[in-house]
Amino acid sequence: MKPLPPGSTIGIVGGGQLGRMSAMAAARLGYRCHILTDDALSPAAQVASSITLGDYNDLAALEEFSERCDVIAFEFENIDAEGLELLRAHRPVRPSPEILRIGQDRIAEKTFLNQTDIATAPWREVNSLAELAAAVAELGLPAVLKTTRLGYDGKGQALLRGVDDLESAFLDLSPKPLILEGFIDFACEISVIVARNPAGQIAVFDAVQNRHKDHILDLTLAPAPIDPLIAVRAQTYARNLAEALGLEGLLALELFVDRDGQVLANEMAPRPHNSGHWTIDACIVSQFEMHIRAVAGLPLPPATRHSDAVMKNLVGPEDLALWPEILATPGLIPHHYGKAEARPGRKMGHVTVLFPYGALPGDFGINDALGALATTDGSLS
């Protein structure tokens, strides 16, 4: 495939901050972005050259959208199968609908990971209460019961501690089928972002550590303060996954590191990822530029990190209230997503702090890492 020439239009399905930051990276490479969004003032719509206003599963909107793009990418990937086929009939879709479908279904995803020799938590498909009881007998308790589709930020899952929890959790979670996973007593959660272009070139970012608050990503530490061999294993998993999928685009692989140093993949997201926002400020090529390069068929430079970094998400009205202080604090790199309303739990922006390369050592406590982020009243930490 020939590289997409500057002046071409990249279609992005989804109007959120991932689309916004992708469109900003695309603009720097001379591309226009056309966004499919259901909100004319969405974060991506504000920085794009044009939009199609419509629902993600509205076939007429998908058709109009695709006709206005040279290639189609995603920042939101939960498009139904019919919509994906329609897009594919009109334009190259990257990543392919097959990859999006695998990522939409935890059972297809875990099956693919295991077939690619990527370790995961032990798991069983669960269609009935009897199957749940049988799966619990095999995997033991505690265990985590999840919906196979449309779960995010801890929604659509339940921790089963005792046999009394089985029935209510099974009845509460929908749609069925569900998946039961063995509970991983993890030492930390990490992620790796990998890009692959249609020519088969691959770029893998450093593994990072992710810390959550109320099931939402709070902090990313780059690089992850873990044994380098564990980080390399996670990167190798991501590279193997990109190859096995024949990825054209970019994906994030989220993993657990258990107390024995085993690396277990949890899930993949075939798009830029919140845990890669640090790359804008700490890498020569950010995840968003790498995404656009992969989708446009451009060469992929190495995913070189020039600095260590901590990224903090700004979530909801509480964090957004810190914006003036953030702007007034030297060393904080602010990113605002342009959302009009700061509802609780909504990702409004993020802040990155850079450290010299290698200066975020393994024994750095999170409070040390956040020293530079702390405001006078310590509210950010």
Q: What is the binding site for ligand AMP (CB under 6 A)?
A: 121, 144, 151, 154, 157, 181, 183-184, 189, 212, 266-267
Report the alpha-carbon distance of residue 320 to residue 347 in Å, rounded.
9
* Distance of alpha carbon 116 from alpha carbon 128, whole angstroms: 28
Least separation in angstroms between residue 155's CB and ligand AMP is: 8
With a CB cutoff of 8 Å and minimum separation 6, the contacts of 24 are 47, 288
Alpha carbons 250 and 279: distance in angstroms, whole number: 14
- Which C-beta is closer to ligand AMP: that of 51 or that of 144? 144
CA distance 76 to 48: 16
| Least distance (Å) between residue 157 CB and ligand AMP | 6
Any idea how long the chain is? 381
Kindly state the smallest distance separating residue 184's Cβ from ligand AMP, in Å: 4
Minimum distance from residue 146 beta carbon to ligand AMP (Å): 6
Q: How far is the CB of 120 from ligand AMP (least distance, A)?
A: 9
Q: Which is nearer to ligand AMP, 175 or 200 (CB)?
A: 175
Phi, psi of 29 (to 5 degrees): -95, 5
Query: Which residue, 20 or 124, has its beta carbon nearer to ligand AMP?
Result: 124
Closer residue to ligand AMP (CB): 76 or 323: 76
Amino acid type, 326: I
142: cis peptide before it, omega within 30°?
yes
Give the H/E segment covering residue 125: strand 123-126
64 φ/ψ angles, rounded to the nearest 5 degrees? -60, -45
Separation between Cα atoms, residue 193 and residue 201, nearest integer Å: 14
Between 189 and 308, name the residue whose CB sits nearer to ligand AMP. Answer: 189
Smallest separation, CB 142 to ligand AMP (Å): 8
Which value, in Å, is the radius of gyration of the alpha carbons in the chain?
21
Q: 87 or 139: whose CB is closer to ligand AMP? A: 139
Q: How far is the CB of 189 from ligand AMP (least distance, A)?
A: 5
CB 335 within 8 A of CB 220: no
Nearer to ligand AMP, 179 or 203 (CB): 179
